């Protein structure tokens, strides 16, 4: 039954883009980043390779590439200064400004290990009207690739918005609603569990399990 024709009290509303919460381990003491303004969902791109034979071209799916995620943050200043927190992440990744004068040159460098640890676990969850998670994305091996501290302008009274670009190796999605069905083939599989990993495989088809 379509959600716009349902009148029973047990029917769930469709997902809404404004109902979400962000969690980044390095910000807000591993709690919810309540000053997050937006979070672009992960997206996957399947590369294709082409084989030419005489006058014909045949395409085959290749590797999967996950696109960068962009996060916008409002800078609350109290009790957290988001601009300073992002600067600390950059430092924890291994970046140091050049020394002044005769100060010894540092040989510390940025590495993936330090970069992943500097950001920590990162996830975004879509919630329902009761505040329960219904769709959660977790970014794996994630690290920061771009920090934008915003801009100043005399003709605006907007809140200061910071932007964070994050690269990751892969993402995992968890759907948390009982009796869901997802059709990925002519056969529809039904879940009876309350929390189901999206990318799980049974037989020859990917289903909610």
Of the candidates 42, 61, 38, 27, the one whose C-alpha atom is nearest the C-alpha of residue 141 is 42
pLDDT at 2: 65
Beta-strand (E) ranges in the chain? 20-24, 36-39, 44-53, 56-66, 69-74, 122-127, 133-140, 143-148, 161-167, 170-175, 181-183, 188-190, 196-197, 200-202, 205-207
d(CA 193, CA 176): 8
Report the alpha-carbon distance of residue 96 to residue 107 in Å, rounded: 9
12 contacts 6 by C-beta, under 8 angstroms: no
Sign of the Cα pseudo-torsion (149, 152, 158, 159, in order): positive
Tens digits of per-residue pLDDT, 157-186?
A: 999 999 999 999 999 998 886 556 665 555
Q: Which residue has the higher pLDDT, 188 or 18?
A: 18
pLDDT score recorded for residue 73: 95
Backbone angles phi, psi at 119, to 5 degrees: -85, -40
pLDDT tens column, 25-77: 998 765 799 999 999 999 999 999 999 999 999 999 999 999 999 999 999 98
> What is the mean predicted confidence (pLDDT) over 119-144?
92
- Show Cβ contacts of residue 141 under 8 Å, excluding neighbours closer than 6 positions: 112, 116, 168, 169, 170
Bridge-based pairing state of the strands 170-175 and 69-74 = unpaired
Q: How many CA atoms lie within 13 A of 104 on its CB side?
A: 3
Please give the pLDDT value at position 146: 96
Which tokens hold the place of 130? 């009761």
- Please give the pLDDT value at position 203: 45
Closest CA to 146 of 68, 204, 49: 68
């Amino acid at each position: 039954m379509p959600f716009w024709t349902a009148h029973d009290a047990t029917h769930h509303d469709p997902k809404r883009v404004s109902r979400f919460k962000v969690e980044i381990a390095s910000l807000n003491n591993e709690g919810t980043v309540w000053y997050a303004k937006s979070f672009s969902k992960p997206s996957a791109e399947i590369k294709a390779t082409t084989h030419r034979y005489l006058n014909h071209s045949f395409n085959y799916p290749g590797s999967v590439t996950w696109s960068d995620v962009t996060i916008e943050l409002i800078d609350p200043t109290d009790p957290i200064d988001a601009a300073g927190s992002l600067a600390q992440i950059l430092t924890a990744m291994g970046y140091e400004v050049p020394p002044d004068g005769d100060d010894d040159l540092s040989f510390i460098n940025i590495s993936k290990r330090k970069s992943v640890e500097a950001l920590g676990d990162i996830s975004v969850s879509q919630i329902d009207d009761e505040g329960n998670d219904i769709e959660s994305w977790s970014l794996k091996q994630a690290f920061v690739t771009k920090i934008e501290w915003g801009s100043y302008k005399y003709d605006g009274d907007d809140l200061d918005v910071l932007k964070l670009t994050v690269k990751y190796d892969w993402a995992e999605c968890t759907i948390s609603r009982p009796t869901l069905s997802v059709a990925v083939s002519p056969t529809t599989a039904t879940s009876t569990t309350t929390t189901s990993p999206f990318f799980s495989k049974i037989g020859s088809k990917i289903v909610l399990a």
